[in-house]
Amino acid sequence: MEKLSNSLLNMTVVLTATAIVTGGLLAFVNDVTKEPIAEVNKQATTDGIVKVMGGNPNIKTDADTIENNGKTFVVYNVTDDKGNALGNAVESSTMGFGGDLKVLTGFDAEGNILGYTILGHAETPGLGAKATDWFQKGGKGDVIGKNPSTDNLTVKKDGGQVDAITGSTITSRAFCRLVATAYNAFQIEKGEQQ
């Protein structure tokens, strides 16, 4: 019996020591990589804003955070280098098929969609991941140039005007929801909706 309790004590000590060392290493790696990851994410957002606002690299932005229906949106007010308003880029996210779908959508002053970029997704490769290109200008589900206030930007299965990604209706619906909620945040930013 002495040998059994001694083994149990040894295993407990070894497992505890291993957990402490592993936890310390994870904390160290997290601390070391936190700033580089934040910098990469910031650059991805900056590049995304340039892309969704027409590709002009000489833009300036300031960001506002908007709460609407329990969701948080980041709305970037975008101007050219002379201070002329170009529109807004809205960062929003929702649950897709495989996890969070995070999209940055650009709107001109009238609310027409200038462009979008997928900032992050966990969708199925080859299916839901097609959202990166599917809804772009010339794509089968093209939403560029459309205005959510006048165009029915829901999938055709639901009576809308947007072709869903073949085999990935859930992702297509999530994308359309994101565009609609981003447009609502855009309107709140402009003071047109409460």
Distance between CA 164 and CA 192 in Å, rounded? 30
What is residue 37's predicted lDDT score, i.e. its pLDDT? 83
Q: What is the predicted pLDDT for the residue at 16?
A: 93
Contact 155, 124 (CB under 8 A): no
Show the tokens assigned to 126.
């080859």
pLDDT at 82: 85
> Look-up: residue for tokens 């992050």?
120
* pLDDT at residue 164 in the model: 85
Structure token digits, residue 132: 């990166």
pLDDT score of 187: 87
pTM listed for this prediction: 0.73
Q: What are the domain boundaries of the chain?
A: 49-190
Phi, psi angle pair for 3, to nearest 5°: -65, -40
Question: In this predicted structure, what is the pLDDT of residue 68?
Answer: 77
Q: What is the pLDDT of residue 121?
A: 64
Say what the pLDDT of residue 183 is. Answer: 92
Q: How far apart are the first and last CA of the chain?
A: 72
The strand pairing partners of 89, in sequence order, are 76, 106
C-alpha separations of 31 from 28, 34, 39, 72, 96 in Å: 5, 5, 14, 26, 30
Task: Give pLDDT < 70 ranges for the chain.
Answer: 1-6, 95-99, 121-129, 192-194
